[in-house]
A and B are shown apart, each in its own frame.
Chain A
Amino acid sequence: MTDLSTITFGSNTDPYNKAAERGWDITDASQLTSSLELEADVVIVGTGAGGGTAAETLSKAGLSVILLEAGPLKTSSQFDMQERAAYRDLYQEGTGRGTKDGGMVILQGRSVGGSTTVNWTTSFRTPPETLKFWGEHMGVSGCSVAEMEPYFEHMEGRLNIHKWPQAPNNNNAMLQRGAEKLGYPWATIHRNVRGCLNLGYCGLGCPVDAKQSMLVTTIPGALDNKAKLVHRARVVRIVREGDVVKGVEAEALTPDVRGTTGQKITVRATRTILAGGAINTPAVLLRSDAPDPHGRIGKRTFLHPATLAMGIYEELIDPYYGAPQSIYSDHFQWQDIHTGPIGFKLEVPPLQPAFAAGFYGAAGEQITESMDKLNHTQCMVALMRDGFHEESQGGAVEINDKGQPALDYPINGYLLDGVRRAYNAMLEMQFATGAKSARPAHKQAKHYTSWKEAKAAVAELDVAAHKATIGSAHVMGGCPMGDDPKQSVANCDGKFHHLDNLYIMDGSLFPTSIGANPQLSIYGLVYKLSTTLLTQFHA
Chain B
Amino acid sequence: MKLLRPEDVELLRALTPAVMKGKVAPGDTAGIDQTLQSFDTLMVDLSEPVVAGVQQAFDVLSFGLTRGLTTGQWSAWSNASLEDAESALARLRDSGIGLLNAIYAAVTRLIISAWYLVPENAATTGYPGPPKKVAGLVPAAAPAKEATP
Binary B-proximity of A357-381 (CB < 8 A = 1, otherwise 0): 1100111110111011111100000
Nearest chain-A residue to B98 (Cβ)? Answer: A466
Q: Is the CB of A12 within 8 A of B141?
A: no
A98 CA to B47 CA in the complex, in Å?
Answer: 11
Instruction: Say yes or no for B30: interface residue by CB 8 A criterion.
Output: no
Q: Is the CB of A93 within 8 A of B125?
A: no
Binary A-proximity of B130-143 (CB < 8 A = 1, otherwise 0): 11111111111101
- From B6-14, B71-79, B116-124, give the one contacting chain A: B116-124
Counted as pairs of residues, one from A and one from B, with CB atoms less than 8 Å apart, the total is 208
Residues 204-233 of A at the B interface (beta carbon under 8 Å): 207-208, 210
Instruction: Say yes or no for B5: interface residue by CB 8 A criterion.
Output: no
Chain A's nearest CB lies how many Å from the CB of B107?
9
Report chain B residues within 8 Å CB of A406: 49
Q: Is the CB of A162 within 8 A of B136?
A: no
Binary B-proximity of A133-165 (CB < 8 A = 1, otherwise 0): 000000000000000000000001100111101
Q: Beyond A10-B138, A365-B22, is A93–B130 a contact (Cβ under 8 Å)?
A: no
Instruction: Say yes or no for B27: interface residue by CB 8 A criterion.
Output: no
A6 CA to B53 CA in the complex, in Å?
Answer: 41
Binary A-proximity of B61-102 (CB < 8 A = 1, otherwise 0): 000000000000000000000000010010001100011011
**Which of A9, A94, A198 is close to B46, meaning CB atoms less than 8 Å apart?**
A94
Q: Is the CB of B133 within 8 A of A80?
A: yes
Chain A's nearest CB lies how many Å from the CB of B22?
4
Q: Beyond A5-B132, A354-B116, is A87–B45 a contact (Cβ under 8 Å)?
A: yes
Binary B-proximity of A66-103 (CB < 8 A = 1, otherwise 0): 00000000000100111110011000111011100111
Instruction: Say yes or no for A258: interface residue by CB 8 A criterion.
Output: yes
A11 CA to B134 CA in the complex, in Å?
Answer: 7
Residues 283-320 of A at the B interface (beta carbon under 8 Å): 320
Chain A's nearest CB lies how many Å from the CB of B81?
14
Instruction: Say yes or no for A539: interface residue by CB 8 A criterion.
Output: no
Instruction: Say yes or no for B36: interface residue by CB 8 A criterion.
Output: no
Instruction: Say yes or no for A7: interface residue by CB 8 A criterion.
Output: yes
Total interface residues on A, using CB and 8 Å?
78
Instruction: Say yes or no for B18: interface residue by CB 8 A criterion.
Output: yes
Q: Beyond A96-B46, A165-B146, is A4–B130 a contact (Cβ under 8 Å)?
A: yes
Report chain A residues within 8 Å CB of B47: 92-94, 96-97, 258
Chain B's nearest CB lies how many Å from the CB of A286?
15
A165 CA to B86 CA in the complex, in Å?
Answer: 48
Report chain B residues within 8 Å CB of A84: 41-42, 45, 117
Instruction: Say yes or no for A199: interface residue by CB 8 A criterion.
Output: yes
Q: Is the CB of B105 within 8 A of A443?
A: yes
A211 CA to B87 CA in the complex, in Å?
Answer: 46
Instruction: Say yes or no for B60: interface residue by CB 8 A criterion.
Output: no
A4 CA to B46 CA in the complex, in Å?
Answer: 30
Q: Is the CB of A9 within 8 A of B139?
A: yes
Q: Is the CB of A163 within 8 A of B147?
A: yes
Q: Is the CB of A94 within 8 A of B45?
A: yes
Instruction: Say yes or no for A34: interface residue by CB 8 A criterion.
Output: no
A281 CA to B140 CA in the complex, in Å?
Answer: 42
Q: Beyond A9-B137, A196-B143, A210-B143, is A162–B149 a contact (Cβ under 8 Å)?
A: yes
A8 CA to B138 CA in the complex, in Å?
Answer: 10
Report chain B residues within 8 Å CB of A77: 135
**Which of B21, B134, B148 is close to A365, meaning CB atoms less than 8 Å apart?**
B21
Chain A's nearest CB lies how many Å from the CB of B127?
5
Q: Is the CB of B133 within 8 A of A354?
A: no
Instruction: Say yes or no for A464: interface residue by CB 8 A criterion.
Output: yes
Q: Is the CB of A161 within 8 A of B149?
A: yes
**Which of B128, B140, B149 is close to A157, meaning CB atoms less than 8 Å apart?**
B149
Nearest chain-B residue to A163 (Cβ)? Answer: B147
A116 CA to B122 CA in the complex, in Å?
Answer: 26
Q: Is the CB of A465 within 8 A of B22?
A: no
Report chain A residues within 8 Å CB of B50: 93-94, 96-98
A88 CA to B43 CA in the complex, in Å?
Answer: 10
A474 CA to B46 CA in the complex, in Å?
Answer: 20
Q: Is the CB of A196 within 8 A of B119?
A: no
Report chain B residues within 8 Å CB of A363: 18-19, 21, 89, 93, 108, 111-112
Q: Is the CB of B146 within 8 A of A4?
A: no
**Which of B20, B89, B106 is close to A368, meaning CB atoms less than 8 Å apart?**
B20
Q: Is the CB of B133 within 8 A of A8?
A: yes
Instruction: Say yes or no for A182: interface residue by CB 8 A criterion.
Output: no
Q: Is the CB of A166 within 8 A of B130?
A: no
18 contacts between A and B (CB under 8 A): A5-B129, A8-B137, A9-B131, A9-B139, A10-B136, A97-B50, A161-B149, A162-B148, A165-B147, A195-B146, A197-B143, A199-B130, A357-B113, A361-B105, A368-B23, A373-B126, A444-B93, A466-B98
List the interface of chain B (C-beta within 8 A of A).
18-23, 41-42, 44-50, 53, 86, 89, 93-94, 98-99, 101-102, 104-106, 108-109, 111-113, 115-117, 119, 122, 124-141, 143-149
Given contacts A11-B137, A352-B127, A466-B104, 11 further A-B contacts (CB under 8 A): A9-B132, A10-B133, A12-B136, A82-B130, A96-B46, A101-B99, A162-B148, A196-B144, A207-B133, A372-B125, A404-B49
Closest 6 CB pairs of A and B: A10-B137, A375-B126, A81-B130, A466-B101, A374-B125, A96-B50
List the interface of chain A (C-beta within 8 A of B).
3-13, 77, 80-84, 87-88, 92-94, 96-98, 101-103, 156-157, 160-163, 165-166, 193-199, 201, 207-208, 210, 258, 320, 352-354, 357-358, 361-365, 367-369, 371-376, 400, 404, 406, 443-444, 464-467, 469
